[in-house]
């Protein structure tokens, strides 16, 4: 069994060292640390009104931040994973080794997941430390922070795999970069705006009651946000989606969060198999 994972772990180690040289580890950790520090300093105002501890309120704010930041960091790390090696000519060399394409892809996947986990751990630890220092009740929010961590990792896994698929389809780093930014704008920004416009136009009709909930949990970013806010004691701190978080069963959002990384990785594997160096 160990022998089966040896090529994947070796590839992961090589990819992690490349990320270190390219400063991706430093960039990812620095971005998460910066935003977590800012939220820790400014996100505690509503605690008295909500009756929740400071860390729970900070987690609600971090959830709203992670919806935008985690997919963006994941896509930026993965957009040239295939296209970049194609352009540099290194993919042809790597594929001459006795290494299956799926093993090569899984090695990259593990390395990027590790980088993202480090960034999340540092950022969320800063938020937890600030909350615990300022509020003795903040320890009650640690389970919510842990839930945010592993769901953020799953959200990042989804977009890392999607980035691989787009990289394989584009075959050029410039085109891949345009595709991932367009995808981020479509799924993270424009998707919710489109749903909001449809709900307003529907005026409480069939779309609002039957279609809208399924379209929310069908988007990995919205499923992530709904699951974390539905389980949070400070849902009211995140305006706009608190009602939806209470209306949609947590189990539905959790299933979406768990299935999306698998589906995205399967799609990336299929796209990578069609690449001819």
3-class state of residue 109 by DSSP: helix
Average pLDDT value for the chain: 85
Pairs from 127-134 (Cβ < 8 Å, separation ≥ 24): 127/36, 127/37, 127/39, 127/40, 127/55, 127/58, 127/59, 127/62, 128/55, 130/37, 130/40, 130/41, 130/58, 131/40, 131/44, 131/53, 131/54, 131/55, 131/58, 132/55, 134/44, 134/54
Per residue in 131-158, pLDDT tens?
888 877 778 888 999 999 999 999 999 9
Per residue in 48-59, pLDDT tens?
454 567 888 888
Q: What span, in angstroms and rounded, lies between the C-alpha atoms of 63 and 227?
A: 10
| Residue 140 DSSP one-character state | G
- Between 99 and 123, where is the model more confident? 123
Confidence category of residue 254, pLDDT binned at 50, 70, 90 = very high
Answer yes or no: is pLDDT of 269 > 90: yes
**Alpha helix locations (H) across the chain?**
2-21, 24-42, 47-50, 54-78, 83-88, 90-94, 101-134, 142-170, 173-184, 191-202, 206, 212-218, 220-230, 242-247, 250-273
The whole domain housing 228 covers: 4-274
Q: What are phi and psi of 272, to 5 degrees?
A: -70, -35
Q: What span, in angstroms and rounded, lies between the C-alpha atoms of 263 and 24?
A: 25
Give the lowest-confidence range in 17-26, 69-78, 229-238, 262-271: 229-238
Residue 15: which residues within 8 A CB-CB, separation 6 or more? Answer: 107, 108, 110, 111, 112
pLDDT score for 238:
47
Give pTM, 2 decimals.
0.90
pLDDT score for 261:
96
Whole-angstrom Cα Rg for the chain: 20
Confidence category of residue 244, pLDDT binned at 50, 70, 90 = low
Q: What span, in angstroms and rounded, lies between the C-alpha atoms of 208 and 119?
A: 37
- Between 11 and 82, where is the model more confident? 82
Residue 144: which residues within 8 A CB-CB, separation 6 or more? Answer: 55, 56, 59, 228, 231, 232, 233
pLDDT score for 239:
45
**Contact indicator for 83, 167 with CB cutoff of 8 Å:** yes
pLDDT score for 243:
53
Per residue in 72-101, pLDDT tens?
999 999 999 999 999 888 888 888 887 888
Which of 3-12, 48-57, 152-161, 223-232: highest mean pLDDT? 152-161
**Contact indicator for 140, 55 with CB cutoff of 8 Å:** yes
Average pLDDT over residues 165-189: 94
Average pLDDT over residues 167-177: 92
**Contact indicator for 163, 71 with CB cutoff of 8 Å:** no
- Between 245 and 176, where is the model more confident? 176
Answer yes or no: is pLDDT of 165 > 90: yes
Q: What span, in angstroms and rounded, lies between the C-alpha atoms of 216 and 105?
A: 29
- Say which residue the tokens 């768990």 belong to: 258
Give the lowest-confidence range in 11-15, 236-240, 243-247: 236-240
Q: What span, in angstroms and rounded, lies between the C-alpha atoms of 265 and 277?
A: 21
Average pLDDT over residues 121-136: 87
pLDDT score for 233:
55
Answer yes or no: is pLDDT of 1 > 70: no
Number of domains in the chain: 1
Answer yes or no: is pLDDT of 33 > 50: yes
């Amino acid at each position: 069994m160990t022998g089966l994972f040896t090529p994947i772990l070796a590839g992961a180690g090589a990819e992690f060292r490349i990320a270190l040289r390219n400063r991706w580890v430093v960039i990812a950790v620095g971005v998460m640390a910066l935003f977590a520090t800012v939220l820790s300093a400014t996100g505690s105002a509503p605690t008295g009104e909500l009756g929740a501890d400071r860390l729970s309120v900070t987690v609600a704010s971090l959830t709203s931040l992670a919806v935008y930041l985690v997919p963006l960091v994941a896509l930026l790390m993965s957009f040239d994973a295939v296209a970049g090696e194609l352009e540099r000519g290194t993919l042809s060399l790597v594929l001459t080794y006795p290494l299956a394409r799926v093993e090569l892809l899984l090695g990259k996947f593990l390395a990027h997941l590790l980088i993202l986990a480090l960034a999340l751990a540092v950022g969320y630890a800063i938020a937890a430390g600030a909350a615990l220092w300022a509020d003795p009740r903040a320890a009650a929010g640690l389970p919510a922070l842990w839930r945010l961590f592993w769901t953020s990792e799953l959200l990042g896994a989804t977009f890392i795999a999607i980035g691989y698929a787009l990289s394989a389809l584009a075959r050029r780093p410039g085109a891949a970069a345009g595709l991932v930014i367009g995808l981020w704008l479509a799924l993270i920004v424009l998707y919710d705006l489109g749903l909001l416009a449809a709900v307003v136009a529907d005026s409480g009709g069939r779309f609002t009651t039957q279609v809208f909930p399924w379209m929310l949990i069908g988007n990995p970013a919205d499923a992530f946000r709904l699951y974390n806010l539905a389980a949070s004691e400070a849902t009211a701190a995140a305006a706009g989606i608190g009602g939806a978080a209470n209306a949609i069963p947590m189990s539905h959002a959790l299933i979406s969060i768990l299935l999306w990384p698998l589906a995205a990785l399967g799609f990336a594997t299929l796209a990578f198999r069609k690449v001819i160096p």
